[in-house]
Amino acid sequence: MSRSHTTGPATDDPAGTPARRARVVWSAVAALLVALGWCWSLATPMMSSPDEPSHVVRAAGVARGQVSLPTADALVDTAEPGVAGLVRLPSDYAASVTLPNCFAFQPDQPASCQQDLPEPGAPVDARTYAGQYPPLYYALVGWPSLLLPASGGLVAMRLVSALLTGLLVTWGLYRLHRVEGNRAGVWGAAVALTPMCFFLGATVNPAGFEISAAFAFWAACLAVVLGRGPVTTGALVQAVVAGALLVNTRSTGPVWALAIVVVALVAAPAGRWRDIVAHPRFRWLVAATAAASAVAVGWLVTHPAVVTTKDLHPGFADPRTVALSVVGKGSEYLLNMIGDYGWLDAPSPPVTFVAWYAMAGAVLLLAFAAARPTRRRVALLLLVLGVAGAPLALQVPTAVDTGLIWQGRYALPVAVGVPLLAALVVGVDRRPEGELLRRVARGALPVVLVGHVAAFYWASRRYAEGLEGDVLTFHPDWTSPIGYLTGTALYAAVVGALTWLAWRSYRPVDDTPAAPGPASAAARRSTSDAATAAAAAEPAPATTD
């Protein structure tokens, strides 16, 4: 029986006001996260995301029904990452692939050199190196190219991508907020969602969508296995939907999804797996998972080669050489996970890197020192080792063919789980050290705020003036649609609002025991507006299961 059946009409329900507050709060969170992505979409020039020309061509092609592509001539040297797919597009979209040529890999060159796009013309062949990627993401973001010329369509595709990723991140945050007896999820999310996550999600690049889908999947899996209450239908459905999006976005998606499930099962307390299997909708959810996985595997089997070079890097024939080279790039991979924008030519300033090193290091040290069940710490250790070892495991077998193509951002779908799990291991609850941990969680938020704003400003400055240009100028060489300094101010306002909401979620909780009854229940609800609002937004486990 639902709550409304036991408490009377909605207007008399004591939970009615918190429920409305929850809808307002979570709508605000979603709007702010989408706005944060849109700031990135508009502040950086078109095609300034890694391989964005190939992804734009792929998206516009999928929107026109060109899903499995014919290929261009065979590859003959290392100048290209693989055999290109051919797409027939209007001439303005085909011409857009040249937009980054004048500034890519040139950090001192502002984007003012970028040429205007021509008027739409007859369809011509365009090349994409993303022709083997699963079509799901491209179908979701490519449809504006059917309605608009390239001058507006490129921007619209970016805005759609930022909208989707912002909503997925919101879904993940909501689920983390629902973990009973542990308010640490927001703390972990603040550290997990680096500026690079939002930058990628705000451009035409499936990596950003993959990261946000993985974030929502992580949140659901951790909520299922670490929650104190019954297994809820909402969490399981989120795990299935987010997992389906993850495995069907990029070729690495099934690997990351499997890794997330393994870590979650290791972290689960004894008996939790039996509770999951006993859920009345478990069989239907397993069937849906199997169907989504079959689609992903079917695409990979019929389109196995994302990079199709062959023996073009003989210097990497020795696995030891590859291993040493990969280890030597470890710090580069870490920097790329935090924020190295454009074509790896627009790194974040030192203050951003220091902020994330400090915050990630703090939550990890606290987690490994926490007096928590061993299973959770073992799962965290396994995850950290997996993230560190992924570049080795995935590059040693293929380096002779592809070279060392790994970038730190490739690991972000699984790496975002490190601070999430670490924060949930630490906890922010009513144990004796709970007040100290609550203060630490609050203290982390302003540091992350500064790191985000500094990263956005530095990336905006790179395209406005070049990295060797003036640190501050009111007359930049290139100006984005939202402006160079005004865009930074807008971004700071959006991140500041999100920080304030997160700050409020860590207000002290009254530990004073109260006698049972409606009055004491109302008092307990008033001790943490954010927590009770989130709880009221979803039915109680007893009514959904």
Q: Domain for residue 534, yes or no?
A: no
Query: What is the span of the domain harbouring residue 348?
Result: 17-49+155-509
Q: Domain for residue 365, yes or no?
A: yes
Domain boundary among 95, 125, 154: 154
CA-closest candidate to residue 265, choices 379, 149, 419: 379
| Whether 160 and 146 share a structural domain | no
Residue 266, token pair as written in the block: 């290791």
E strand map for 403-468: none
Q: What three-state secondary structure class fits 317? A: coil
Q: Domain for residue 523, yes or no?
A: no
Instruction: Report which DSSP code applies to 370.
Output: S
List the chain pLDDT tens, one digit each, 545 residues. 333 333 333 444 444 587 888 889 999 999 999 999 999 999 999 999 999 999 999 999 999 999 988 776 655 455 566 678 899 999 999 999 999 999 999 999 999 999 889 899 899 999 998 888 999 999 999 999 999 999 999 999 999 999 999 999 999 999 998 876 678 889 999 999 999 999 999 999 999 999 999 999 999 999 999 887 888 899 999 999 999 999 999 989 999 999 999 999 999 888 888 888 888 888 899 999 999 999 999 998 888 766 555 667 777 778 888 889 888 888 899 999 999 998 988 899 999 999 999 999 999 999 988 776 788 899 999 999 999 999 988 888 888 777 788 898 999 999 999 999 999 888 877 567 778 888 888 899 999 999 999 999 999 999 999 888 778 888 888 999 999 899 999 999 999 999 999 999 888 765 433 333 333 333 333 333 443 333 333 333 333 33
Residue 100, token pair as written in the block: 């980054």
| Whether 118 and 42 share a structural domain | no
Q: What three-state secondary structure class fits 71? A: strand
Residue 155, token pair as written in the block: 């921007």
| Whether 289 and 167 share a structural domain | yes
Q: Round to whole Å and give the CA distance between 526 and 536.
A: 13
Q: How far is CA 127 from CA 22, 61, 89, in A?
A: 47, 10, 10
| Whether 170 and 318 share a structural domain | yes
| Whether 496 and 420 share a structural domain | yes
Q: Domain for residue 521, yes or no?
A: no
| Whether 166 and 216 share a structural domain | yes
Q: Beta-carbon neighbour count of residue 520 at 10 Å? A: 13
Domain boundary among 122, 154, 186: 154
Domain boundary among 136, 154, 172: 154
Residues sharing a CB contact under 8 Å with residue 497, sequence separation 6 or more, in sequence order: 28, 32
| Whether 247 and 261 share a structural domain | yes
Amino acid at 345: D
Residue 13, token pair as written in the block: 């329900």
Q: What is the CA radius of gyration of the chain?
A: 24
| Kind plus residue range of the DSSP H or E element containing 400 | helix 399-402
| Whether 160 and 145 share a structural domain | no
| Whether 209 and 273 share a structural domain | yes
User: What are residue 127's DSSP bridge partners?
Assistant: 86
- Confidence (pTM): 0.88
Residue 123 main-chain phi, psi, to 5 deg: -60, 140
Task: Specify the number of domains making up the chain.
Answer: 2
Q: Domain for residue 27, yes or no?
A: yes
User: What are residue 341's DSSP bridge partners?
Assistant: 346
| Whether 309 and 185 share a structural domain | yes
Q: Domain for residue 522, yes or no?
A: no
| Whether 237 and 128 share a structural domain | no
Q: Domain for residue 538, yes or no?
A: no
pLDDT of the residue at 532 = 37
Q: Domain for residue 531, yes or no?
A: no
| Whether 326 and 446 share a structural domain | yes
